[in-house]
Amino acid sequence: MAKAGVMIVEDEAITALEIRNVIESADYEVLSVVYSGEDAIKEALTLKPDLILMDIILKGEIDGIDAARKIKEFMDIPVLYITALESVEPNRLKNTKGAGFLVKPISEGELMSNIEIAIHNYKNNKKELKNTKSESLSDVQVFLQSMIPQLSSNLSIDKRGAFLGIFHKKFEKFMKPRFLKETGRYDKGVFDKLPETGKLQVYLNWIITFFQNLGFEVDVFDQRDEWIVTFRDCTWCERNYENIFCCLICQAILKQTLNWTGIDGDIESLSDASINKPLCRYKIALNHD
């Protein structure tokens, strides 16, 4: 079993080192130690830790509570606050749904017991959330499956473009509001202020969850400015290997949803749909001036 990954946000180097030593001695993995709220946001989107230890008072323009709030706008990660303050405005903490609040100095036992409880509760909540998301996406599955009979028919080449055009319109009407809400694009431009790589990470998290809840196995490989997305165990075409329309639908979904983000990037299919099914690979690359 892989070690749980923890990110430490603490602007006092000695304190950060002490916390790191305690955590690693308890067989957890410290993914990163950062010293500002701004860096915490960037690292969280990239590393996706199992837990964030967040000092509230940080150097820089934003404190730990604001950093946690921004992180949680895009990712569901438990945040365990640590601070030298004995009191913090309760409403600010409630809004970030913190996993706990520890006042310095903190004993090793107190720190580790709170970490264990926070990760345990998060995993249990995540299971419940996954089931809820799966149920909420059942209507999406019904929508997509309703298209399969048409996909299974042998449409002539001249009708394929028209069919995909109809699919684009229906998918946009049905899914775009949900997509914009779940990726945070509606939230006062926070999404638009992220760097392109940050936006793309939010997008990848969404698209992975979307296809996983539809029964796909999804892997993403980071190759600097390029990301390879692999779909395996496609349930749509397991009995219909001769028809490539299911693959065209996946490709259409990827390109359409990426366009909704406003990211300046391209998606390229790396698989021959007539040969590689049910394994499909796509390359997502950012455009640079």
What pLDDT does residue 135 have?
53
Matching residue, tokens 């509760």: 121
Taking alpha carbons only, the member of 25, 65, 60, 73 closest to residue 183 is 73
- Confirm if 226 and 285 have CB atoms less than 8 A apart: yes
Give per-residue pLDDT as tens, 81-114: 988 776 566 667 666 777 788 888 888 999 999 9
Phi, psi dihedrals of residue 61, rounded to the nearest 5°:
-80, -25
What pLDDT does residue 167 have?
75
Contacts of 241 (CB under 8 A, 6+ apart): 277, 278
Contacts of 154 (CB under 8 A, 6+ apart): 243
Q: What kind and span of H or E run contains 285?
A: strand 280-286
What pLDDT does residue 241 have?
47
List alpha helices for 213-288, DSSP H.
245-261
Average pLDDT value over all residues in the chain:
78
User: For the chain, which domains are there?
Assistant: 5-131 (3.40.50.2300), 137-286 (3.30.1380.20)
Give per-residue pLDDT as tens, 163-200: 667 777 878 887 888 888 788 766 656 777 788 888 88
In sequence order, the β-bridge partners of residue 223 are 226
What pLDDT does residue 285 have?
86
Contacts of 175 (CB under 8 A, 6+ apart): 140, 257
What pLDDT does residue 17 have?
93
CA end-to-end distance (rounded Å), the chain: 43
What pLDDT does residue 31 have?
94
What pLDDT does residue 138 have?
55
Residues of the chain predicted below pLDDT 70: 1-2, 86-91, 93-95, 126-164, 185-189, 224, 233-246, 271-278, 288-289
Contacts of 186 (CB under 8 A, 6+ apart): 180
Q: Sign of the C-alpha dihedral, residues 39, 41, 44, 46?
A: negative
Q: Which two tokens stand for residue 219?
A: 């892997």
What residue ranges in 84-130 does DSSP mark as E strands? Answer: 100-103
In sequence order, the β-bridge partners of residue 79 are 52
- Confirm if 254 and 229 have CB atoms less than 8 A apart: yes
- Confirm if 22 and 66 have CB atoms less than 8 A apart: no
